[in-house]
Amino acid sequence: MGRILAIDYGRKRTGLAVTDVLRITANPLLTVETKDLMNWLGDYLLKEQVDEVVIGHPTQMNGEESESMNYIRPFMGTFKKQFPHIPLTMYDERFTSVLAHQAMIAGGMKKKDRQNKAAVDKIAACIILEGYLDSLR
């Protein structure tokens, strides 16, 4: 059984999280510059067995897609062409940044560390992945 990788896609930075091999826990992985994401994915997917990728689906409070989909869709198309054997699933990402900040506070992170947007992005990816895993159970 392979891992599930989660992507919190952003224009500048992309947060990543991954499950353990048994798909029990979601763990923040890292944040990469979005311009380097496809190269990073190519390297990572050669080293690790990933059976599925989950990408955050940005929606507004009324359920409509947010404008962010205008740059996420092209990424998804590129991903599907480069990695056609790996399913790409969208999962609702509403409130993940807020939840990431709350998790950082609850974890005792200092204010200066909480202002690190890269940390927020990888924790948001982890929250997306946790929600997805919960939906499978």
69-92 pLDDT per residue, tens: 899 999 999 999 999 999 999 998
Contacts 24+ apart (CB under 8 A), 16-21: 16/122, 16/125, 17/122, 17/125, 17/126, 17/128, 17/129, 18/48, 18/50, 18/129, 19/129, 19/133, 21/49
Residue-range domain boundaries for the chain: 3-136
pLDDT of residue 113: 55
pLDDT of residue 25: 94
pTM score, two decimals?
A: 0.85
The third-level CATH classification (topology) of the domain covering 3-136 is Nucleotidyltransferase; domain 5 (3.30.420)
